[in-house]
A and B are shown apart, each in its own frame.
Chain A
Amino acid sequence: MSAVLFYARKDSEKNKRMFVFIIIAIALSTANIIIINGFMDGITDDFVEKTMETSSGHLNIYPDEQNRYIEGLGVKEQKLDTFDNVIAYSPRINAGGALSYKDKSKSIRILAVDPIKENRVTNILGKIDSGETLDVNDRNGVLISYRLADELKARVGDETVLVFEKGNTKVFRIKGIFRSGMALDTNTVILDFESAAEQLNLSNKASVILVRLSDIALTGQYKDTISRELGAIKVKEWKQEVESILSSTATFKEISSAINAIGLFASAVSVGVILYINILHRRRQIGIMKAVGMKDFQILSVYIIEAMIMGTIGIIAGDMLGYLGTKYLEAHPFSDPILGSLSPRFYTYILYDASLVTMATVILASTYPALMAGRMNIIKAIWE
């Protein structure tokens, strides 16, 4: 083995230009995998984080299948107060309606929250683009999404008419315009819980209660306990809430995997072709190796080891490039009209995956040229 390693090292040193070219191809391919996957993870994480920030507690309590609203809200809140690790909860009302401003009208989703309770669970009320957020018992103020504001040409301070789904109407003053980076931005208005309950005739009821625990790891344990203690209700963990997001980002991941596969294929072709040409140019040398007594598998090993040497250096360079590229793009994200910004995230597992996949590809790409070298006919190699 020492002779094989010795020759592989010497041959690699001799072919510096080829060596550098292959290393660049491998490095770019590895960095490409790290950055693209980093972007996919970044987008997924952003979606999940924003969902958790604006729309979900660690546990979310819903009414059972037969009811639209959770009944007996006060009693349920009292029971929630008795759990040690429930540090906050926020009941919400979700309803439909329409918002009119001057001669324009849009159908909307109403989200009603108690500002004090909501602020302990999410920071949806902090996502203000302009104006102010809702105050406690702010019965006449409303927050509207920035897209709704754009479509209605409404601004902070304007008065709008909100038609609730049961037909009640009330005039609200736009107190603030929010931007959550989530679906809420499409057509949502946020108003005070009591005000909405009054207009929708919902006494002691809520559409959902978001629950925050002292430790997110307790969700599994508390899901069943809360469900049992609070009666006929449905409790979902935050993971279930973001499942749809994860499944939709899985599609993006598949696309990114295809992009990575194309990059790897290009790199593999470069490595394979360069090694193939190199071996064709070194027929006589291979013939001499055989003549002095090198076995076929030892010659094959020489070229596989050469590829692995180049692969190792290329992968280390690619890992560094990928890491630095990811960190740079994390610090300088692309702006996005919906999410606000798009940036990759660096995770060690991506580094390992990229390194392993690239090394496997490099070895695979070098196998055919190496086999060709091992099986070369001595007479043809030396004399033709």
Chain B
Amino acid sequence: MDIIKTGNLKKSYMLGKVEVKALNGVDVSIQKGEFVAIMGPSGCGKSTFLNMVGMLDIPTSGEIYVEGNDVTGMSSNKRAEYRLRHIGFIFQFFNLFNELTAIENIMFPMMLNRMPNYRKNAQELLNLVGLGDRIHHLPSELSGGQQQRVTIARSLANSPKILLADEPTGNLDTKSSKEIIELFRKLNLERGQTIVMVTHSQEIGEKADRIIHFRDGIIEK
């Protein structure tokens, strides 16, 4: 079953008076439980695609279906609600809430979703990513790899259908990168988590089930 399907997806920006076509008709289908890597050179539209699928941005034209539902016409509030319940984000620069501790960062989306037992669940997620002993640490007190693991735990807070990771290892050393990819693999295998990951690294990309190559806003192969 397609969990994500896009049809002739286009996105263009105005850079001054010049129109930049970030996506120029992308058709992608991703199956439920798939671990997909999106690769390509800088500026090819990888992150733009991820933002569209994650409903952070609105396409210029085309369709996006998540679990068979057309999500392109959703209002801002509906998109926010959809992100909260069904999509988990992992960013290159971790993007944790600096004023919240590790456990609070994970609790926060659960609280927004009015989940019961959010503290207990957040603790379990921290244990899952191997940071059970760092619950009260602020992001500034954690290493890059640890911060990214907290981000992964946060992205899993509301048991999302899709995990979207934009260069999740781009800011990490080799050892931490390896740990993060192993964690992704574990989530994919043990929980059947659908993961769409943008990466520059061929080595990281090869850990996924499938690689989609982007070039100049279209799928190359």
Whether the Cβ atoms of B112 and A10 lie closer than 8 Å is no
Is there contact, CB below 8 Å, between A294 and B80? yes
Among the stretches B91-99, B179-187, B195-203, the one at the interface with A is: B91-99
* Chain B residue contacts of A212, Cβ below 8 A: none
CB-CB contacts below 8 Å: A225-272 with B = none
Task: Indicate if A349 sits at the interface (CB-CB under 8 A).
Answer: no
Given contacts A13-B99, A14-B99, A296-B80, contact A291 B56 (CB under 8 A): yes
Taking a contact as CB atoms under 8 Å apart, the answer to whether B99 and A292 are in contact is no
* Docked-complex contact B99 and A10, CB < 8 angstroms: yes
B181 CB → nearest A CB, Å: 22
Closest A residue to B94 using CB positions:
A288
A379 and B108 CA atoms in complex are apart in Å by 21
Q: Which residues of B contact A372 (CB under 8 A)?
A: none
B21 at the binding interface (Cβ < 8 Å): no
A379 CA to B77 CA, complexed, in Å: 16
Which of B32-40, B82-90, B121-129, B209-217 interfaces with chain A?
A: B82-90
Type the 1/0 row for A280-307, where 1 means its CB is closer than 8 Å to any CB of B: 0000110111111111101000000000
Is B63 in the interface zone, CB < 8 Å from A? no
Give the residue name and chain of the A residue nearest to B84 (CB).
A293
Is A86 among interface residues, defined by CB-CB distance under 8 A? no
Partner of A379, one of B57, B84, B100: B57
Q: Could you tell me if B81 and A293 are in contact, using CB atoms closer than 8 angstroms?
A: yes
Interface centre among B80, B83, B158 (most CB of A within 10 A): B80
Name the interface size band of chain A. Answer: 20 to 34
The docked-state distance in angstroms from the alpha carbon of A296 to that of B76 is: 8
Flag the segment in A1-9, A91-99, A136-144, A154-162 that touches B.
A1-9
Chain B residues lying within 8 Å of A379, measured Cβ to Cβ, are 51, 56-57
* B113 at the A interface (CB under 8 A): yes
A88 contacts B by Cβ under 8 Å = no
Contact of A3 among B80, B91, B96, B108 (CB under 8 A): B108
Question: Contacts of A284 on B, CB cut-off 8 Å?
Answer: 95
Tell me if B161 counts as interface (CB < 8 A to partner A): no
Asked whether B109 lies within 8 Å of A378 as measured between CB atoms, the reply is no
Asked if A382 is at the interface of the complex by the 8 Å CB criterion, the answer is yes
Is A11 part of the contact surface with B, judged by Cβ < 8 Å?
yes
Say yes or no: is B154 at the interface (Cβ < 8 Å to chain A): yes
The chain B residues found within 8 Å of chain A, CB to CB, are 51, 54, 56-57, 76-77, 80-85, 89, 91, 95-100, 104, 108-109, 111-113, 154, 158
A-B contact pairs, 14 of them (CB 8 A): A3-B112, A7-B97, A13-B99, A284-B95, A288-B96, A289-B97, A292-B89, A292-B109, A292-B154, A293-B83, A293-B113, A296-B80, A379-B51, A379-B56
Interchain residue pairs A-B with the least CB separation, the first 8: A293-B84, A14-B99, A3-B111, A293-B83, A3-B112, A295-B80, A292-B109, A288-B95
What is A's interface to B at a CB cutoff of 8 Å?
Answer: 2-3, 6-7, 10-11, 13-14, 284-285, 287-296, 298, 378-379, 382
